[in-house]
A = this chain, B = another copy of it.
Amino acid sequence: MTISAEKRAYRSIINLILTGQFRPGDFLLETEIAEKLGMSRTPVGKALTMLVSEGFLNKMPKKGCYIPLPTPEDAEQVFFARKAVESQAAAGAAIHASEKELQQLQEIVSKDKEALASRSKDTYSSANEEFHLGIAKASHNQYLEKWVRNIFWRSNVYVFYFDSFYKGKEFSVPQKTPMQHAAIIKAITEKDPKRAAQLMEEHIQWTYENLLLKY
């Protein structure tokens, strides 16, 4: 089973951005990416089209696609939107999650604690992504799941962007994160949608305010 060039392009572009090889404000040239990935412009163009329609990139007609510049206004929009969709994804998960999914979510809490101990940014990042996307998946709502995935990646641009100011300093996992995650999972397991939503909203708000402290 060979993966399509379009999907490869899509994944690669996201990686290039999240690993900082392209930075906010940069234009992503179809021609350049196509060459780098050893494919034609066609699949690259479609991948860029997707990323634009997902709000991950902006586009200027006849000019190209670029990574939106982080601004306080956009950050506020991103985290407001995250609260909206992720809190309701958590509520949905409290209603629809299967036993197996609840079990998997429990395991993520353990990973969280390991990440806290390891003080490794990659480990933390990975556990954090599993948590948020795992809940989205457990909501069994394809629309919410898609939106959560998109806005989560978009918000990661902020996390990585601000972290770049702190290169060299020791990475500090926010201490309260694992406890907040655990509390959310608990509410979902107890099938308490209102509480799960409330806790998720507070958690994201807390993440946002934590980010603002870095200005």
Expressed in whole angstroms, the Cα–Cα distance for A143 and B88 within the complex equals 16
Report the stretch among A73-81, A115-123, A169-177, A181-189 that lies at the interface.
A73-81
A interface residues, tally (CB under 8 Å): 28
Find residues 140-172 in chain A having any chain B CB closer than 8 Å to their own CB: 140-144, 146-147, 151, 154
Residue on B nearest A78 in the bound complex, by CB: B143
Find residues 70-93 in chain A having any chain B CB closer than 8 Å to their own CB: 77-78, 80-81, 83-85, 87-88, 92
Q: How many copies does the complex hold?
A: 2
Report the stretch among A18-26, A29-37, A53-61, A202-210 that lies at the interface.
A53-61
Q: Show 6 residue pairs from A and B whose CB-CB distance is below 8 angstroms, ordered by the A residue.
A: A46-B46, A53-B53, A77-B144, A81-B88, A84-B85, A85-B85
